[in-house]
Amino acid sequence: MEFDTIAAISTPMGEGAIAIVRLSGDDAIPIVNRLFKGKGGKELKDVASHTIHYGLLVDPKTEEVAEEVMVSVMKGPRTFTKEDVVEINCHGGIVSVNRVLQLVLNLGARLAEPGEFTKRAFLNGRIDLSQAEAVMDLIRAKTDRAMNVALGQMEGRLSNLIQRLRQEILETLAHVEVNIDYPEYDDVEEMTHNLLLEKASYVRSEIEKLLRTSQQGKILREGLSTVIVGRPNVGKSSLLNSLVHENKAIVTDIPGTTRDVIEEYVNVRGVPLRLLDTAGIRETEDIVERIGVERSRQVLKEADLILLVLNYSDDLTAEDENIFKAVEGMDVIVIVNKTDLPQKINMDRVRELTKGHKLVTTSLLEDVGIDELEESIAALFFDGSIEAGDMTYVSNSRHIALLNQAYNSIDEAINGVENGVPIDIVQIDFTRTWELLGEIIGDSVHESLIDQLFSQFCLGK
Ligand code: GDP
Ligand code: ZN
C-alpha cells in the first residue's frame, strides 16, 4: 500500500528527560536527512537500518541549530508500521519537542491522527485488528495482570484461536460441498449430518469457553466498578482513603467513549477497582443523597462490586436494612466498621442480612481488617484459583459482542442439523459464524469501524 509520511510526538506531553518525535513513511528518512547534521557529515540516507545517530537538527530556512538529538533509523519492512520509521529523540521540554515536530512538518510530513501508526501496522498487514486493539489495551493497562492479558493478545493468542476455529469451519464447509457433489454414495447424507454436528458442536464449545473468560477479562481491562454504600458517618470516606493509601491509585484520562472522565483506579492484589463516581462520593459524602434514590439505584445496578459499610457501635437502622434490599442479588462485601468502639450492632441480624455474602469487620481508625477485606475482594474475583498466566481472555466489548453473535449462529446451525433443516440453510449459519469470527481479527470489517477504532488511540501511537 502507498501512504504519505506521517509524524507525531510519541511521548506524553509535558516535561521529561527526553521526548520522541516519530515519522513513518517513504519520506521519513529523506525528511530527517535534510535536517540532520551528524559528526563528519554523516548522511542518514546512507546509514544501516536499525542504527542510532547523534547530531544536530538545523532549520534549513534559517540555518540555525534547532536541537541536539539522537536519531534512530529503521527501514521497512522490519518496523512497527512495515514502513521506514525514524525516531528523533530530543530534549523533553514542550518547546523543543514541538520545534522538532514543526521542522519535519515544514518539510512535508503530515501530522498523524491518533492511532495512525498502529492503523498502518494493521493496514500493512503487520498485525490484525485484535492485536491492534491490544496495543491500546497495553497502553492503558492498570495492573500487571491486565498488561499480561494485553500482551498475550498482542502476541496473537486470541487471533490464533480464532483463526483455528475459522479454519475448522472452512474445512467442514468444503467437506460438505464434496459430499453434496458425490451423492452416489449411499451414506452421504448421514455422513454430512454427523460431520456438521460434530464440527459445529466443537466450534460452539470453544466459543463458549472464550465467552466464559469475558467477565474476568473485561474486569481486568476496565476495572471492577465498585461502589461504597452506607449511612452517613459509618466510614465510607475512610474506607476509600484506606484503599487508596494502601494501594497504588492510578488516575487516568481515557479518550474515546468516556472522553474527559477522570477515573480513579486502585490496584487491590491484582484486581483493578474502578471507584465509581469517586469525585462525587468524596465531595458530598453520600452518593444516595447527591444523586437521588432512583439514580443511585441505577448506579448501583451498573456496579460489579458493592462495599456495604455498617457501624459496629451503632444500632442497625431501617436505612441499613433498605440498603441491603437495594443491593440484593449483587456481589456484596459487608463491612462492619468501628470495632474499636463498644458494640451496639446486633451481629446476628447482620449475619442474617448478609446471607451468602462475605462479612468483614474493620477498624479503619486502627488499621485493622483491611488485609482481610482485600483478600475477600481478590477471592471474589479470582475464585481463589485462577492465575491470569496462560489463559486467553476476551476482554474487549467488541470481541465479546461478536463472539455472542457467533455463538448464536453456530447454535442455530446445530439446531438446524438436529431438526433436519436442508443443508444449504445450515451452510448459511456456518458461513455467518465464519464471518463473525473474522470481524474480530479484522478480516471483514467495515472501513468506518476501523477509523472509529483507531481514533480512540492516543496521539503518536
Ligand atoms: P462516611 O460519612 O461514611 O464517609 O464516614 P467517614 O469516613 O467520613 O467517617 C466518619 C467518622 O468516623 C470520621 O470522624 C472518622 O474518622 C470516623 N471513623 C471512621 N472509621 C472509624 C473506625 O474504624 N473507628 C472509629 N472510632 N472511628 C472511625
Ligand atoms: Zn465521608
- Residue 193's CATH number: 1.20.120.430
If asked whether residues 374 and 408 sit together in one domain, one would say no
Displacement of CA 199 from its chain's centroid (Å): 31
Could you report the predicted ipTM of this complex, rounded to two decimals? 0.98
Is residue 388 in some structural domain? no
Looking at residue 372, its amino acid is: E
Determine the residue of 227, 229, 233 to mutate for testing ligand 1's pocket, defined as the one with the most ligand atoms within 8 A of the Cβ atom: 233
CB atoms near residue 424 (< 10 Å): 9
Three cell numbers written together for 267? 490496584
Is residue 15 in some structural domain? yes
> Which of these three, 128, 158, 176, is where a domain ends?
128
Range of the structural domain that residue 18 is part of: 6-128
Q: Is 236 annotated as a binding residue?
A: yes
Is residue 134 in some structural domain? no
If asked whether residues 423 and 366 sit together in one domain, one would say no
**C-alpha to C-alpha distance for 230 and 390, rounded to whole angstroms:** 39
Residue bearing cell 501511537: 461
Instruction: Identify the nearest ligand to the CA of 232 by its number.
Output: 1
285 lines ligand 1 (CB under 6 A): yes
> Which of these three, 337, 352, 382, is where a domain ends?
382
Report CA(242)–ligand 1 centroid distance (Å).
Answer: 11
Report CA(311)–ligand 1 centroid distance (Å).
Answer: 9
Instruction: Identify the nearest ligand to the CA of 229 by its number.
Output: 1
Residue bearing cell 456496579: 303
If asked whether residues 200 and 233 sit together in one domain, one would say no
337 lines ligand 1 (CB under 6 A): yes
**C-alpha to C-alpha distance for 91 and 20, rounded to whole angstroms:** 8
Is residue 454 in some structural domain? no
In this prediction, residue 143 carries a pLDDT of 67
If asked whether residues 374 and 312 sit together in one domain, one would say yes
Vertex 235 angle, CA 233 and 240, to 5° = 135
Q: At 142, give phi and psi (nearest 5°).
A: -110, -10
Q: What is the pLDDT along the chain (461 residues), one digit of tens a residue?
A: 568 999 998 887 666 778 899 999 999 999 999 999 998 888 898 899 999 999 999 999 999 999 999 999 999 999 999 999 999 999 887 888 889 999 999 999 999 888 889 888 888 888 888 888 877 777 766 666 677 777 777 778 888 889 999 999 988 888 887 776 766 666 667 777 888 899 999 999 999 988 887 777 777 777 788 888 888 888 887 888 788 776 655 544 433 333 233 356 777 877 778 876 443 344 444 555 555 555 566 667 778 889 999 999 999 999 899 889 888 888 899 999 999 999 999 999 999 999 889 999 999 999 999 999 999 988 887 664 444 445 677 877 788 899 999 999 999 999 999 998 888 888 899 999 999 999 988 876 666 666 766 776 666 66
If asked whether residues 58 and 118 sit together in one domain, one would say yes
Q: Strands, E, within 282-430: which ranges? A: 305-311, 332-337, 358-362
If asked whether residues 346 and 428 sit together in one domain, one would say no
Is residue 457 in some structural domain? no
Report CA(243)–ligand 2 centroid distance (Å).
Answer: 14
Q: At 162, give phi and psi (nearest 5°).
A: -65, -40
Q: Is 238 annotated as a binding residue?
A: yes
Nearest to 310, CA basis, from 352, 272, 264, 345: 345
CA distances 204 to 2, 200, 209, 433, Å, are 40, 6, 9, 10
**C-alpha to C-alpha distance for 62 and 325, rounded to whole angstroms:** 73
If asked whether residues 278 and 367 sit together in one domain, one would say yes
Report CA(327)–ligand 1 centroid distance (Å).
Answer: 22
Is residue 459 in some structural domain? no
Looking at residue 115, its amino acid is: G
**C-alpha to C-alpha distance for 173 and 189, rounded to whole angstroms:** 14
If asked whether residues 301 and 192 sit together in one domain, one would say no
Q: Is 278 annotated as a binding residue?
A: yes
User: Is the backbone peptide bond immediately before 77 cis, with ω within 30 degrees of 0?
Assistant: yes
**C-alpha to C-alpha distance for 38 and 47, rounded to whole angstroms:** 11
Is residue 155 in some structural domain? yes
If asked whether residues 291 and 432 sit together in one domain, one would say no
DSSP letter (8 states) at residue 247: S
Strands 18-24 and 85-91: antiparallel
If asked whether residues 92 and 190 sit together in one domain, one would say no
310 lines ligand 1 (CB under 6 A): no
Length of the chain: 461
Is residue 387 in some structural domain? no
CB atoms near residue 64 (< 10 Å): 9
If asked whether residues 237 and 364 sit together in one domain, one would say yes
| 3-state SS, residue 265 | strand
CA distances 381 to 179, 216, 220, 312, 445, Å, are 48, 7, 10, 27, 33
The model scores a pTM over 0.90: no
In this prediction, residue 380 carries a pLDDT of 80
Nearest to 452, CA basis, from 115, 218, 135: 115
Residue 199 buriedness (CB in 10 A; 0-12 / 13-18 / 19+): buried
Sign, Cα dihedral of 250, 116, 152, 76 = negative
If asked whether residues 43 and 121 sit together in one domain, one would say yes
Looking at residue 190, its amino acid is: E
In this prediction, residue 445 carries a pLDDT of 63
> Which of these three, 69, 104, 128, is where a domain ends?
128
Locate the ligand 1 atom nearest the alpha carbon of residue 230 and give its number. Answer: 3
* CATH classification of the domain holding 123: 3.30.1360.120
Number of domains the chain contains: 3
Q: Is 226 annotated as a binding residue?
A: no
